[in-house]
Amino acid sequence: MAAVAPVISIKAGKCTQNGTNIVSQAEPGLLYLYNNPDDDLLHFCWKPRGAVEPAVEDDLIIIPGDARIIKYTGCTTGRVMVLKFSSSSQRHFFWLQSKAESSDSGHWSARDDVWVHRINVALQGPQDDDEEMGDIGLGSEEVEEEGSASRRGGADGGRAPASQPQNQSDFLQNLISQIQLPGAAGGGGYQQQEPMISLHDLLPSTTTTSLLAGMTPGTVDDLISNLPQGIVPRNATLAQKKEVIRKVLHSPQFSQSLVSLSVALRDGGMRGISDSLGVRLDPGEEGAGSDSVTTFVEAIKREEEKKEDSNMDID
Amino acid sequence: MSGGWNTIESDAGVFTYLVDNLGVKNVQFEEMIALDADYLKQQSPVYGVIFLFKYPVGQKKTDQAVDGQYDFAASEDIFFANQTIQNACATQAILSVLLNRGDLDLGDQLREFKEFTQAFPAELRGETLSNSELIRGVHNSFARSNPFIDEGTRAATEDDDLYHFIAYTPINGILYEIDGLQPSPISHGRCKEEEFPEKIIPVLQRRIERYPATEIRFNLLAMVQDLRIKAAEIGDVETVAREDEKRKLWIWENELRRHNFVGFAHEVLKRAVASKLRDGKYDEWMDEAKQKARDRMDERKKVRGQKEDIASP
């Protein structure tokens, strides 16, 4: 997910302006707003659905009260809305990609109207208006994963029962509790929770020492080529190279990287990381969750098993 | 990532090469493990002290100098910049010492920066610092390479406590505390150059005592002259050799800090998996890791015990 939790996230595509015509683009997208804790500003973003963070295509910083979303009535074949600013003549068109709630694809249902209203409330910036914020579960209604059946089935739009907390520390609290209590909706929480393994749990020195001892020169070179060249002596011998690897494996910098990598896998980076490393995931494995490190290692295991098989074929 | 500034580690090797890369000559940092005036004296000349502390969120920011006196007039004469970017604070504290010393070789670029900002008010100085390509570039080159620490993962850390760096240095016969979050430099009284190691200790002690002993974590780095210079003058070959070794280690660590380990980690994991599979110990290995994770969670649960009732939704 983009930065903390989005305030609002809905499925919408972009439209381009062609003369006086507004042309919708078919690409599935996600329109979302979030408060960036770093600059304390509200961001209005659009990205292709399923894009891995931080591949945001549009990122507009919103000054509270400056922007609003208006339903565009000039279109009868789809639900188009326009983002307008009072400080500029800039306009951005988007079309709702959630299935219309009636057979008329241009019909705005009450649900759609609520969404537009939600966005406008958020665009106004934080307010102490409890009534406004407290009435319906603001927010998480439409955070969907790409490819979920609901996109076609029209089952989307279910609202999260809990209301979205408004300030950043509540967001954080919420995020943390979600991470720590995956699937614990039925209560019980902590006791049944599977612990999250970190990659450094898998590489204690007992493991790395025996690994290093049995390494072939080819493997040593593979590993060395993944390290900064500045730390490898020129024309290093095999023993020197092994010593470099040993020191790196025991360095706090490497341990920290393993922790960050584990956190990234858990927090939704699974797909991006696996893709970039060429680790093939099975369908349904890319979701975030506490067991994502295990899933990742299992995927590596499958590759290694395959390699083992093909080696045998060659022999 | 605040305006393109990444966090850097408070570490003598990082700070030493950071000032080196800024073009400053003959300056290094030494970590002070204890508040010990004698130890500090041995490192003389001492240019200043950088004090890093991590304090629990929720501490009220003070509106008045808790210890010492605001010296508003001094903000004009000395380099004092309001901190505009959180992550820049380490570099800002370092500059607060560097730019206030008349006796250091700053290098051309930093000297130009000092002259350029001299006439500016504190806010503008902070702004200029944040926007300096040179300073930001060097600062970021020491950030831990981590392609994942973006907003999302950072937000999930449990204790997002605040780090803050402040600088102490004697300027014009007065011991100043320079903290970009304060309205002006804070004076801690008269202090000659050679008295600094002595006089800074009680000031730091009072500062640390302000926070609950269990809550605060701090780190002290003294900015001193390159230790090899004095050693070479008196023919102390041993110290020179030891310091040379230390520099080698720092360079090594800095290389690793910058390195993106994802590829390496993947290669190591592949090998580990393959070897465990060969030995038929894969499942056992995974179970051991799970046990470790479970132990860690139990440990954490113990610590958080009472808080949990309130925190769970």
For residue A17, what is the DSSP state?
A: E
Q: Touching check for B312 and chain A: CB below 8 Å?
A: yes
Within 10 Å of residue B239's Cβ, how many Cβ atoms?
15
Domain architecture of chain A: domains with CATH: 8-124 (2.30.29.70), 199-313 (no CATH)
Chain A residues 230-269 within an 8 A CB cutoff of chain B? 230-231, 248-249, 251, 253-254, 256-258, 260-261, 263-264, 267-269
β strands within B128-171, DSSP E? 162-171
- Find out whether B82 and B122 touch, Cβ atoms under 8 Å: yes
Q: Tell me if residue B139 is catalytic.
A: no
pLDDT exceeds 50 at position A187: no
Please report where in the chains the tokens 């990205």 appear, as a residue: A47
CA distance, residue B313 to nearest chain A CA (Å): 8
Please report where in the chains the tokens 């008329």 appear, as a residue: A104
- Find out whether A119 and A261 touch, Cβ atoms under 8 Å: no
pLDDT-derived band of residue A72, with 50, 70 and 90 as boundaries? Answer: confident
CATH architecture of B12-225: 3-Layer(aba) Sandwich (3.40)
What does the pLDDT look like over A213-237, one tens digit per residue? 989 999 999 999 999 988 888 889 9
* Nearest CB to A231; choose among B150, B252, B271: B252
Distance CA A206, CA B215 (A): 34
Please report where in the chains the tokens 């020195």 appear, as a residue: A205
For residue A142, what is the DSSP state?
A: G
pLDDT exceeds 60 at position A194: yes
- Find out whether B88 and B129 touch, Cβ atoms under 8 Å: yes
Q: If you count them, how many residues does chain A have? A: 315
Q: Say what the pLDDT of residue A146 is.
A: 33
- Give the CA distances from residue B130 to residues A97, A212, B127, B162, B178, in Å, rounded to whole numbers and listed in that order: 42, 45, 5, 19, 17
> What does the block give as tokens for B49?
């002290």
Q: H-helix or E-strand containing B237?
A: helix B237-258
CA distance, residue B87 to nearest chain A CA (Å): 10
Distance CA A59, CA A92 (A): 12
Q: Which residues of B touch A54 (CB under 8 A)?
A: 150
Mark yes or no for CB contact B160/A172 under 8 Å: yes
Greater model confidence, B215 or A82 = A82
Distance CA A280, CA A300 (A): 8
Instruction: Give B241's contacts (C-beta < 8 A, 6+ positions apart).
Output: none
Greater model confidence, A18 or B43 = B43
Distance CA B275, CA B267 (A): 12
- Give the CA distances from residue A100 to residues A23, A47, A73, A152, B109, in Å, rounded to whole numbers and listed in that order: 18, 21, 16, 10, 61
Mean pLDDT by 10 residues, chain B (313 residues): 64 92 94 86 93 66 72 83 78 92 91 88 84 86 60 36 83 92 90 93 88 73 95 94 94 89 92 92 92 82 52 33
What does the pLDDT look like over A256-268, one tens digit per residue? 888 888 888 887 7
Q: Which phi and psi angles does B204 have, rounded to 5°?
A: -65, -40
Mean pLDDT, rounded, of chain A: 71
Q: Touching check for A212 and chain B: CB below 8 Å?
A: no
Greater model confidence, A109 or A164 = A109
pLDDT exceeds 90 at position A105: no
Greater model confidence, A314 or A305 = A305
> What does the block give as tokens for B33?
């493990």
Residue type, A63: I
Q: Touching check for B252 and chain A: CB below 8 Å?
A: yes
> What does the block give as tokens for B174?
């007065």
Q: If you count them, how many residues does chain B have? A: 313
Strands A58-62 and A80-85, by their bridges, are unpaired
Distance CA A87, CA A65 (A): 10
**Helix spans in B141-236 (H):** 151-155, 196-209, 227-233
Q: Which residues of B touch A163 (CB under 8 A)?
A: none
B263: left (phi over 0), alpha (psi -120 to 50) or beta: alpha
pLDDT exceeds 50 at position A103: yes
> What does the block give as tokens for A60?
């507009």
Q: Say what the pLDDT of residue B305 is.
A: 55
> What does the block give as tokens for A269?
């980076």
Distance CA B202, CA B11 (A): 23
Among A261, A176, A290, which Cα is nearest to B155's? A176
Kindly report which listed range (A21-25, A51-55, A173-177) carries the lowest average pLDDT score: A173-177
> What does the block give as tokens for B91?
């570099």
Closest-CA residue in chain B for A186?
A: B313
**Helix spans in chain A (H):** 110-123, 130-134, 150-153, 168-180, 199-202, 205-213, 217-224, 238-249, 252-264, 270-277, 292-314
Q: Which residues of A touch B286 (CB under 8 A)?
A: 197, 202, 294, 297
Distance CA B271, CA A74 (A): 61
- Radius of gyration of the CA atoms of chain A, in A: 25
Residue type, B79: F
> What does the block give as tokens for B101?
């010393």
Q: Say what the pLDDT of residue B272 is.
A: 93
Q: H-helix or E-strand containing B108?
A: helix B108-117
Hey, which of A10-14, A82-86, A166-170 has the most confident mean pLDDT? A10-14
> What does the block give as tokens for A228?
């900064």
Give the three-class secondary structure for A267.
Answer: helix
> What does the block give as tokens for A236?
């290093």
Catalytic residue among B89, B139, B188, B191: B89
What does the pLDDT look like over A48-60, one tens digit per residue? 877 665 567 788 8
Distance CA B66, CA B49 (A): 19
Q: Say what the pLDDT of residue B162 is.
A: 64
Distance CA A267, CA B154 (A): 10
**Alpha carbon B182 to chain centroid distance?**
18
Q: Say what the pLDDT of residue B3 is.
A: 47
Q: Is the peptide bond before B45 cis (omega within 30 degrees of 0)?
A: yes
> What does the block give as tokens for A289?
């969750």
Distance CA A9, CA A94 (A): 13
Q: What is the dihedral of CA B131, B261, A259, B17, to 10 degrees?
A: -40
**Helix spans in A165-237 (H):** 168-180, 199-202, 205-213, 217-224
- Give the CA distances from residue A37 to residues A75, B83, B109, B133, B150, in Å, rounded to whole numbers and listed in that order: 37, 17, 33, 24, 11
Q: Touching check for B297 and chain A: CB below 8 Å?
A: yes
CA distance, residue A32 to nearest chain B CA (Å): 15
The separation between the first and the last C-alpha atoms of chain A, rounded to the nearest angstrom, is 46
Catalytic residue among B139, B164, B188, B191: B164
State ipTM: 0.76
Mark yes or no for CB contact A3/B152 under 8 Å: yes
